[in-house]
Amino acid sequence: MTFRPRAVWAVAALMGLLLLAPASAPGATTIGQTFEPTLQCTETTLVQQSEGIGVPSYAIPVGGGVITSFSTMAYGGEFIKGEQKMNFEVFRPTGAVSEYTIVAATPTIVLTPGALNTLPTRIAVRAADRIGVFAENAPCLGSLPGSEVVWDAGHFASGTSHLFTVHGKASVLDVSAVVEPDADGDGFGDETQDLCWTDPSTQHACPAPTISGTAQVGQTLAASPNGRPTNPVFAWLRCDPEGEACAAVAGDTGTTYSVSAADVGHTLRFRKTAANASGSQTTDSQPTTVVPAPPAPPAPPAPPPVSVSGFSMVRTVFAVAASSTPISARARAPRGSAFRYILSSPARVTLRVSALLAGRRSGHRCLAPTAGLKRSPRCSRLVSRGTLLRSGQAGPNVVPFSGRIGSRGLAPGVYQATISVPGAVGPSAGATVRFTIVKR
């Protein structure tokens, strides 16, 4: 190993010149340190074997992780002596004193003079692994009490073990590394390299869950979380029609969901939250379509229209009975007649009775005769005398008629009776029959 002094070693001055590597992402750890070194090394492999009190550690912390970058400070100005080259390396203690296995090494980089040089990388490491370098005409060492660097001339292949024979007391390496957690164990740093660090199935964005089924009241939706999320927790979300302003539906934490009336006018999403030692990540599905209001129940079928047939009278010439028209067909009047008709179903029946009187024609109307109309054509006119309301049964019906409307008897003459039933159809709907009242 060849050392080229740059200045008198001064511990106090070196501590004042320490330059930390750029800040890493939250959760990452920076080990080692970069500074303006006082020595230059030629074709030498170096390992930081120990650190003094107050010196940053060069060992991978408990839990291990992934080294995502290395950094070193290069010489500049009058101290440049050709290209400065470096390989950053990871060493694993074998258990023997000063013996290490070279478990990983970066490609050789040519350093930019007078600058902090940082190399992105991805190297999975275990707790207690140590960082070091192979330097070619590059800056390497400073001096800090209590620290120890071991080295040997030459470059040793990755995967081999080497017993380092040279011990540099009060020495410290010009190298730092950013170690990120790798809680899902996929070999990618959780903070800057692995977008989905709670799911070892991907290093891209966490796969979004999906929903299958029809978003309608009474239907069941099924969700697929997708990927292999770590320690997943599920929730169903009720959102506005645009799929925003979502709120968790209390108690629904499974992968199926029964759509209810409370969801009408809303969309639904499925949410998965995965968590590990690096924290938690949440991913939502796309929203469903807006849940429509259920259709109104069908209206009950309208009853079939009532048909009326067979409207007639028992006698069409009769005298007015002494008593009023009875309601019941069984209560026969001593005189009078009866209406007969047939109904297809029970219905309320109206029987209208009108007197058929002589009249004179005046235009399109038939009026009561007057002196002024004595030369006008004769006509017959109907004058209402009252109505009978009866409840009819399905089948044949007989309605007694005494010749009286209430207590008032009809005068002798010709009359017309009309039967009507609301909504009635058939040949006798609105049918008429004529009868004559005679003197007793």
Which of 71-75, 191-195, 329-333 bottoms out in mean pLDDT, i.e. has the lowest? 329-333
Convert the pLDDT of each residue in 378-397 to its tens digit: 998 999 999 999 999 999 99
Give Cβ neighbours of residue 433 (< 8 Å, ≥ 6 apart).
311, 312, 313, 316, 339, 416, 417
Tell whether 137 and 244 lie within a shared domain: no
**295: closest CA among 262, 264, 258, 259?**
264
How confident is the model over 195-199, as a mean pLDDT? Answer: 94
Is 225 part of any domain? yes
Q: Band of the pLDDT at 234, cuts 50, 70, 90?
A: very high
pLDDT at res. 40: 82
Tell whether 162 and 252 lie within a shared domain: no
pLDDT at res. 304: 82
pLDDT at res. 76: 79
pLDDT at res. 6: 39
Query: β-strand 395-401 against 279-284: which pairing, if any?
Result: unpaired
Tell whether 156 and 241 lie within a shared domain: no
Number of separate domains in the chain: 3
**322: closest CA among 335, 331, 313, 332?**
335
pLDDT at res. 71: 97
CA dihedral 365, 366, 367, 371 (to 10 degrees): 110
Is 415 part of any domain? yes
Cβ neighbours around 2 below 10 Å, total: 11
How confident is the model over 213-239, as a mean pLDDT? Answer: 97
Residue 218 has pLDDT above 80, yes or no: yes
Tell whether 121 and 252 lie within a shared domain: no
Longest dimension (CA), the chain: 156
How confident is the model over 7-24, as a mean pLDDT? Answer: 33
pLDDT at res. 261: 95
Mean pLDDT taken over the chain: 88
Tell whether 102 and 157 lie within a shared domain: yes
How confident is the model over 159-172, as a mean pLDDT? Answer: 95
Q: Band of the pLDDT at 322, cuts 50, 70, 90?
A: confident
Q: Which amino acid is at 415?
A: Y
CA angle, corner 258, sides to 252 and 263, nearest 5? 90
Is 400 part of any domain? yes
pLDDT at res. 14: 36
The Cα–Cα gap between 157 and 134 comes to 11
Say if residues 20 and 116 touch (Cβ distance below 8 Å): no
How confident is the model over 217-224, as a mean pLDDT? Answer: 97
Give Cβ neighbours of residue 391 (< 8 Å, ≥ 6 apart).
346, 347, 348, 349
With pLDDT > 90 as the criterion, what percentage of the chain qualifies? 71
Give Cβ neighbours of residue 23 (< 8 Å, ≥ 6 apart).
none
How confident is the model over 108-128, as a mean pLDDT? Answer: 96
Which of 75-89, 126-140, 346-360 bottoms out in mean pLDDT, i.e. has the lowest? 75-89
Residue 15 has pLDDT above 60, yes or no: no
Give Cβ neighbours of residue 252 (< 8 Å, ≥ 6 apart).
235, 236
**168: closest CA among 274, 281, 48?**
48
pLDDT at res. 11: 32
The Cα–Cα gap between 399 and 388 comes to 9
Convert the pLDDT of each residue in 258-314 to its tens digit: 999 999 999 999 999 999 999 999 999 999 999 999 998 899 988 788 888 899 999
pLDDT at res. 427: 54
Listing from the earlier edge strand, what are the strands of the sheet with 116-125? Answer: 29-33, 175-180, 65-73, 116-125
Question: Which pTM does this prediction carry?
Answer: 0.64
Residue 330 has pLDDT above 70, yes or no: no
Tell whether 48 and 127 lie within a shared domain: yes
pLDDT at res. 269: 98
Residue scoring higher pLDDT (161 or 420): 161
Tell whether 149 and 80 lie within a shared domain: yes
pLDDT at res. 334: 53
For residue 210, what is the enclosing H or E element? strand 210-212
The Cα–Cα gap between 4 and 38 comes to 8
Tell whether 38 and 121 lie within a shared domain: yes
Residue 5 has pLDDT above 50, yes or no: no
How confident is the model over 202-229, as a mean pLDDT? Answer: 96
Cβ neighbours around 35 below 10 Å, total: 22
Give Cβ neighbours of residue 105 (< 8 Å, ≥ 6 apart).
87, 88, 89, 90, 134, 158
Q: Which amino acid is at 416?
A: Q
pLDDT at res. 421: 87
Tell whether 107 and 242 lie within a shared domain: no
pLDDT at res. 20: 32
The residue from 180, 197, 229 where one domain ends is: 180
| Cα–Cα separations (whole angstroms), residue 296 to 198, 213, 261, 264 | 47, 22, 13, 14
pLDDT at res. 79: 62
What CATH number does residue 248 fall under? 2.60.40.2700
Tell whether 244 and 338 lie within a shared domain: no
Is 128 part of any domain? yes
**In terms of residue numbers, what domain contains 416?**
308-438
Coil, strand or helix at 199: coil
DSSP string, 404-440: EETTEEPPSEEEEEEEE-TT-BSTTTT-EEEEEEE--
